[in-house]
Structure 1
Amino acid sequence: MQFFGIVIHQSSCPSINGKGYDFFITRGGAIIPSIEQTDPLYIHICLEGDFSGHRHTYTVEEKEQFFLLNKLVLQLAGTFRFQRDDIFPHTVSCPGAFFPWSQLVISAEDRYH
């Protein structure tokens, strides 16, 4: 099966309602896969939380969540040959205006920050 990319969500998005994603990453450090495939064209990843507000720092839990997101994205990118341009927000407001896109690692050469 070939996918066209990855779509990132936040759990505070009103259209999520506990469904609509292939992986859910908790603040507690767990990656929970969906029982059913969400979309035949894209892989959807939802992060627990709300990234719509400006912040200067992140909690330890949020940093762990981003680390797990990076590991998952890196694994999926390797499997499906995704490039940086193959990662998309769910909507203009999801995963939030202040989601830390610059912290995503899509290539092993980029390394973790």
Structure 2
Amino acid sequence: MDYKGFILHHSRCPSINGKGFDFWVGLGGSVYAAPLLTDPEHIHICFEGNYGEADQVPPLAERQSQLFAAGKLILELADRYHISPLVVEPHSATCPGAFFPWNDLVIYAADGYH
């Protein structure tokens, strides 16, 4: 398939409801894959936690592990499916949430460093 990029969700997104994502990234950095990729244009990645409300944002240590694992996942998938790892978009105006740490999601494919 010719994917255009990645769509990010948080687990409190009402459209998730146990489905609607291709990969789940847990707070500790664990990654779970759905049996099949469901969208012919984008790969959907769901982040455990609620990034829509300031008082619900996961603790820093857990976020760091999660973001590190997500960055590695995005780089691996980008290589596998020949898409740019830099095409990463939010699911909607409210998902993954106003408090999602976009600046901490480091994706640097030039030398494989993350």
Give the TM interval when normalised to the shorter protein: 0.7 to 0.9
Query: Aligned residue for 1:35?
Result: 35
Answer yes or no: is the 8 Å Cα contact 1:77–1:106 preserved in 2: no
Paired residue type of 2:47: L
Gaps of 5+ in 1: none
Alignment of 1:1-113 (within 5 A): 1-54=1-54, 58-79=59-80, 80-84=82-86, 86-109=87-110, 111-112=113-114
Q: Distance in 2 between matches of 1:83 and 1:65?
A: 17
Q: CA RMSD in A?
A: 2.2
Inter-CA distance 104–73: structure 2 relative to 1 (3 Å threshold): same
Q: Aligned residue pairs: how many?
A: 111
Q: Distance in 1 between matches of 2:36 and 2:109?
A: 29
Residue 83 of structure 1 and its aligned partner are, at CA, apart by 4.6
Answer yes or no: is the 8 Å Cα contact 2:52–2:100 preserved in 1: yes
Residue 74 of structure 1 and its aligned partner are, at CA, apart by 1.6
What is the percent sequence identity of the aligned residues? Answer: 43
Gaps of 5+ in 2: none
Q: Distance in 1 between matches of 2:46 and 2:30?
A: 12
Q: Distance in 1 between matches of 2:10 and 2:25?
A: 10
Answer yes or no: is the 8 Å Cα contact 1:4–1:41 preserved in 2: yes
Runs (4+) of structure 1 exceeding 6 A deviation are none
Q: Distance in 2 between matches of 1:98 and 1:63?
A: 14
Stretch deviating more after TM superposition (29-38 or 8-17): 29-38
Q: Distance in 2 between matches of 1:15 and 1:87?
A: 18
